[in-house]
Amino acid sequence: MTNLDELKRTIAATWRDEEMASSACYGIDAYSKHWPYVFMVNDWRVWNESGRDLNQEVIRWLDEQEETWDFYHLLDEWGLVGFDDLRTATRFRHRWFGALKVVSSSDDTWNPHPCNGTFAPSLADETTSQARKDSHAVR
């Protein structure tokens, strides 16, 4: 899941207070012993507005999975979400941290040019309208 050794190295390198860094690393070790699958969360998509807890949508989603999970807030910088079940942990990763796939909404490509764009009349429309003009009687 999350490489916790890399997270501990980052904490040790960036936090000025050694005692706080040591405490945070100890907390990460203790947490990872209790929860076999751990994700680090520091993404705005999963935090609530105060930045101190998971947002309600994430909590609701986790509760719907009907598996045990836990959230550990790590000194205003990161959070850890722990799982007992690998399948739930994997679904969490895909749901909240998966890559977005960009899919076209139609088979045609969109072109904004006014004369040769998506909203311009097609050639079939032009020939039909020309045929209508020619079929009108001239007085």
Instruction: Split the chain (139 residues) into runs of 10 and give each run's mean pLDDT.
Output: 81 85 87 89 78 87 92 79 91 77 46 55 53 49
Establish if 108 belongs to a structural domain: no
At residue 64, φ and ψ (nearest 5 deg) are: -65, -20
Report helix, strand and coil shares of the chain as percent, to nearest 5: 45, 15, 40
In a domain, 104, yes or no: no
87 within domain boundaries? yes
Instruction: Name, in order, each residue with C-beta under 8 angstroms of 52's C-beta and a sequence gap of 6 or more.
Output: 73, 76
Assess if residue 81 is contained within a domain: yes
pLDDT of residue 88: 92
User: Can you give the residue range of the structural domain that contains 32?
Assistant: 4-97
Of residues 91, 77, 1, 12, the one with CA closest to residue 38: 1
What pLDDT shows up at residue 97? 78
Alpha helices in 35-139 (DSSP H): 56-64, 86-97, 123-135
User: How large is the greatest C-alpha to C-alpha distance in the chain, in angstroms?
Assistant: 97
In angstroms and rounded to an integer, the radius of gyration of the C-alpha atoms of the chain is: 28
Q: What's the pLDDT score for residue 139? A: 45
pLDDT of residue 63: 94
Domain count for the chain, please give it: 1
Residue 119 lies in a domain: no
Q: Does some domain include residue 106? A: no
Please report whether residue 117 resides in a domain. Answer: no
The answer to whether position 115 is within a domain reads no
Predicted TM-score of the model (pTM): 0.64
pLDDT, residue 84, reads: 92
